[in-house]
Amino acid sequence: MSAFMSAFASLVGALADLLHPFFQTASTAAAIVLFTALVRLAVHPLSRAAARGQKAQRRLQPQIAELRRKHGKNPERMQKALMELHKEEKVSPLSGCLPSLLQMPAFFLLYHVFSSQKIGNDPNELLGHQLFGAPLGERWHDAIAHGGMFGAQGIVYLGLFVIVAAVATFSYGRTKRQMAAHPVTPATGPDGQPVPGMGAMTKVMPLMSFFTLFTVAFVPLAAALYVVTSTTWTAVERAYLYRDLPAAGAAVATAA
């Protein structure tokens, strides 16, 4: 982990040096935003593949319904038939999980770098870098302790909260409209019976974007910048890739 942290710190430092003429004291924060955009750009082909997979899944719904009708009383035969159908159509039911899973190492690496006092045997100089006076290694409660919620540092977090709330509201409204236009059939298991809890999950799914507010409040500011940038990217990307797909499929395919 130490070697990865050192390499990542060097990468952030190099990007910050590159951006310094344009962003001055906020160059490290800008480097984190750029790093996040590069990660999302690298994962974008998988997001496109996930979108195609979800559309294919929707196209296969009549065939899946027929398999459930034929093999509903034989879970093993049902499961085998579903696997054969997905293999034949070259569709992976788990394809939508890959973009989120591949982003997690980048987020946790960023989190650890800006939570560690030392990188290797050297003091972590990145912790002192700031965004409009708010240290990238501190959290919201630290900002409140240094001037209150509306102090110089607190305002930075309020700005991030506003962005997250705006993106979440956009995603929520879009998801609700899609769900109203395309009612979702309750998910069923291999035995053809409804999956326990899926109905409640479908109702909660539109609200998931708002949970990002808690993440921003409790992680270091550097990690919060990653989350805000990635969440905004996700909302725009999802609106484009899943513009002709019911909301529930799009929401499941791409997590924040």
- HEC letters along 28-58: HHHHHHHHHHHHHHHHHHHHHHHHHHHHHHH
pLDDT for the residue 7:
87
Tell me the pLDDT band of 247, cut-offs 50, 70 and 90: very low
End-to-end C-alpha distance for the chain, whole angstroms = 25
Residue 189 banded pLDDT, cuts 50, 70, 90: very low
pLDDT at 127 over 50: yes
171 closest CA partner among 207, 199, 204? 207
To 5 degrees, how large is the angle CA 252–CA 185–CA 179?
60
pLDDT above 70 covers a percentage of the chain that reads 72
What pairs with residue 212 in β-bridges?
none
Q: Which residue has the higher pLDDT, 95 or 132?
A: 132
Mean pLDDT value across residues 22-30: 94
> How far is C-alpha 11 from the chain's CA centre?
22
Q: At what angle do helices 221-241 and 98-113 cross, to 10 degrees?
A: 160
Q: Record the pTM.
A: 0.78
Looking at the predicted structure, is the pLDDT value of residue 238 above 90? no
pLDDT tens-digit readout, 89-126: 666 655 556 677 778 888 999 999 999 898 878 888 88
Residue 69 structural domain:
2-253
Domains held by the chain: number: 1
Please determine, for residue 193, whether its predicted confidence score (pLDDT) is greater than 60: no
> So what's the pLDDT on residue 180?
65
